[in-house]
Amino acid sequence: MKKCPICEKGNLKEGEIEEKMFGISLGRYKAEICAECGESFVDEGTMKAIEQKARQLGIWGLTKKIKIVRSGNSLAIRIPADIARFLKLQEGKELFLHPEGTTKLAIEII
């Protein structure tokens, strides 16, 4: 049996995982799962299938690095067009904005 390369304690067993990206299910896939820490590992072919599904759903590449800019006395961020399209955002739409700890900012569409 193979040992988990992450925790180095548990043995890897064949199983199935549900893969998600941005909270959207990409399906269930075969994987090796650590019995101790729960970390999962898929082979290269499965990883390509997961990536292809994310591309089909239009969510591949939605992660962006953006800069904060000054706007008057406030700071502003711009939402990239592809993310705005995915979220169906339009000018005038209202959002809730709140911190989640000191390193994460949540934006909820209302």
Domains identified in the chain, total number: 2
pLDDT tens profile 13-72:
999 999 999 999 999 999 999 999 999 999 999 999 999 999 999 999 999 999 999 999
Same domain as 73, residue 38: no
Q: Are residues 17 and 46 in the same domain?
A: yes
Residues 76 and 104 in one domain: yes
Amino acid sitting at position 75:
L
Domain annotation covers residue 88: yes
Whether pLDDT at 107 is above 90: yes
Q: Where are the beta strands (DSSP E) in 1-110?
A: 12-21, 24-34, 40-41, 69-71, 74-76, 95-99, 105-109
- 104 in the same domain as 73: yes
pLDDT of residue 97 exceeding 90, the answer is yes
* Residue range(s) defining the domain that contains residue 17: 12-56
Query: What pLDDT score was predicted for residue 4?
Result: 95
Backbone phi and psi for residue 84, each to the nearest 5 degrees, phi listed first: -60, -40
Task: Work out the pLDDT band at 1, boundaries 50, 70, 90.
Answer: confident
Same domain assignment for residues 78 and 50: no
CB distance 88 to 108 below 8 Å: no
Provide mean pLDDT across the span 65-90: 94
